[in-house]
Amino acid sequence: MEHSVPAGVSLVMIAGLMSGSCMLPSKFVRDWKWENVWLVFSVVSLVIIPWILAVAFVGRLFETYRALAFQQLAIPILLGAGWGIAQILFGVSVKRLGLGIAYAIIVGLGAVLGTLVPLFVQQKALAKEHALRLILSGVIVMSIGIFLTAWSGQIKERAAAVHQSRSSRSYLAATFLAVLCGLMAPMLNYSFAFGQDIAKAAVMFGNQPVNAAYAVWPVGLAGGLLPNAAYSLWLLGKNRTWALFRSAPPDFLRSSLMGVLWMGAFAFYGMSTTYLGALGTSVGWGLLQIFMIMTATVAGVLTGEWKDACRSARVLLGSGIAGLTVAIVLLAVGSV
């Protein structure tokens, strides 16, 4: 596969736009509770769409899986399960903190770890010295941008707490959940990065590298399905919300759209890593998180989350977005 940074960045930008907006349909759910939405979202995004893409684009898919050792399949599954726990915390965090703030905290931590772990564990020997300096500089600038974005959100939330009598303890607890989620969230990228033996096997069976990436997702995401489905089913029983599925069509479509957007984003991300070259799963992950934060923040603004924000919060938000823009350039140039 030809190394093409513009193509890789374009694909990961599309992925960031889709992933950053995938939670938006949940704002318009009418009758369903969180557990109803999350069960449908999980099944669509972690089972239906990954398998459709893999079967459609990867030739001799099941022969590829049979050719792999147990360990080559088990590692991405286990890492996917760890990410699945983070995914549950992600849904709760978005509900409690709001779209923009939750993304800033969760995606911020996930961006740094998800970029640096594959870089130093898998790719350090492949990276030139100047590329390492650019990527590390990009990660630092990205972290500053994320910090400023999260800080602006905190100022906004404090003002909202004054007007809406929100509990500061509740906000701190929700923030703690978001931080925990951020520490575990990059396990999805670990699953993809350390599951590349699957993609390599698919290439050996005659598939193009850009299509072979689709073979990794059904395996890694299978691990993520169990905690997501188990938690949703437990809440459905606990809250007795099974009956809400009877009012299915509008909310079912919104929940399914969330799943299509989310998995569609990671399909594009998987493609982008092949164009970004040997450092694709580190640089690509950082770029994806930046575009996700930008998209989620804009979505939060457009849906009214920032309508009562003070001037200082807006200035910090603008500074954070500017920092993230600089980080995009540094990471992209570092992958050349």
**Contact predicate 149/293, CB 8 Å:** yes
Cα 174 to chain centroid, rounded:
19
Q: Which one has a higher pLDDT value, 275 or 302?
A: 275
127-136, 266-275, 300-309 — most confident range: 266-275
pLDDT mean over 105-127: 80
**Contact predicate 214/270, CB 8 Å:** yes
Instruction: Give the residue extent of every domain in the chain.
Output: 5-334
pLDDT mean over 6-16: 94
C-alpha distances in Å from residue 26, one per residue of 20, 31, 85 = 13, 11, 20
Residue matched to tokens 């640089």: 283
Reduced to 3 states (helix: H, G, I; strand: E, B; else coil), residue 2 is coil
DSSP 83-147: HHHHHHHHHHHHHHH-HHHHHHHHHHHHHHHHHHHHIIIIIGGGS-HHHHHHHHHHHHHHHHHHH
Other C-beta atoms closer than 10 Å to the C-beta of 3 total 14
Residue matched to tokens 């999980």: 42
Percent of the chain at pLDDT exceeding 70: 91
**What is the structure's pLDDT at 2?**
63
The candidate with the shortest Cα–Cα distance to 193, out of 279, 314, 305, is 279
Six token digits for residue 21: 């907006």
Reduced to 3 states (helix: H, G, I; strand: E, B; else coil), residue 10 is helix
Reduced to 3 states (helix: H, G, I; strand: E, B; else coil), residue 67 is coil
**What is the structure's pLDDT at 161?**
57
**Contact predicate 303/24, CB 8 Å:** yes
Task: Report how far residue 180's alpha carbon sits from residue 63's, in angstroms, rounded to the nearest whole number.
Answer: 38
**What is the structure's pLDDT at 159?**
66
Task: Report how far residue 236's alpha carbon sits from residue 219's, in angstroms, rounded to the nearest whole number.
Answer: 26
Percent of the chain at pLDDT exceeding 90: 55
The candidate with the shortest Cα–Cα distance to 101, out of 24, 188, 21, 175, is 175
| 8 has a pLDDT exceeding 80 | yes
Q: Which one has a higher pLDDT value, 168 or 13?
A: 13
Banded model confidence at residue 168, pLDDT cuts 50, 70, 90: low
